[in-house]
């Protein structure tokens, strides 16, 4: 499990694209699991965590589309 001392979405999404399955720990967000290159929303979580996960999943989708168009 990799630990991120700050919330840096681009660095975190880069890590998730490299390591397709696993878990990370982000300060102020806690443990976030990812599977097949996408973050998994926990069943019950704080709205800030949900917002961060949807933002990072959106970044992953955008980066994948950029690689396909090049």
**What number does CATH give the domain 2-69?**
3.30.1910.10
- Residue 22 region by backbone torsions, left for phi larger than 0, else alpha for psi between -120 and 50, else beta: left
Taking the domains of the chain in order of start, what are their residue ranges? Answer: 2-69
Instruction: Decide if pLDDT at 56 tops 80.
Output: yes
Instruction: Decide if pLDDT at 65 tops 90.
Output: no
pLDDT of residue 70: 65
Instruction: Decide if pLDDT at 10 tops 80.
Output: yes
Exposed, middle or buried by CB within 10 Å (0-12, 13-18, 19+), for 14?
middle
pTM: 0.86
CA 23 to chain centre: 9
46 compared with 68, residue with greater pLDDT: 46
pLDDT tens track for 17-55: 999 999 999 999 999 999 999 999 999 989 999 999 999
Where helices occur in 1-70 by DSSP H, the ranges are: 9-18, 47-69
């Amino acid at each position: 499990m990799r630990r991120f001392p700050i919330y840096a979405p681009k660095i975190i999404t880069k890590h998730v694209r490299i390591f397709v399955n696993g878990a990370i720990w982000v300060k102020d967000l806690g443990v976030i699991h990812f599977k097949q290159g996408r973050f998994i929303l926990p069943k019950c979580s704080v709205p800030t965590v949900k917002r961060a996960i949807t933002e990072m999943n959106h970044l992953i989708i955008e980066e994948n589309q950029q690689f396909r168009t090049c």
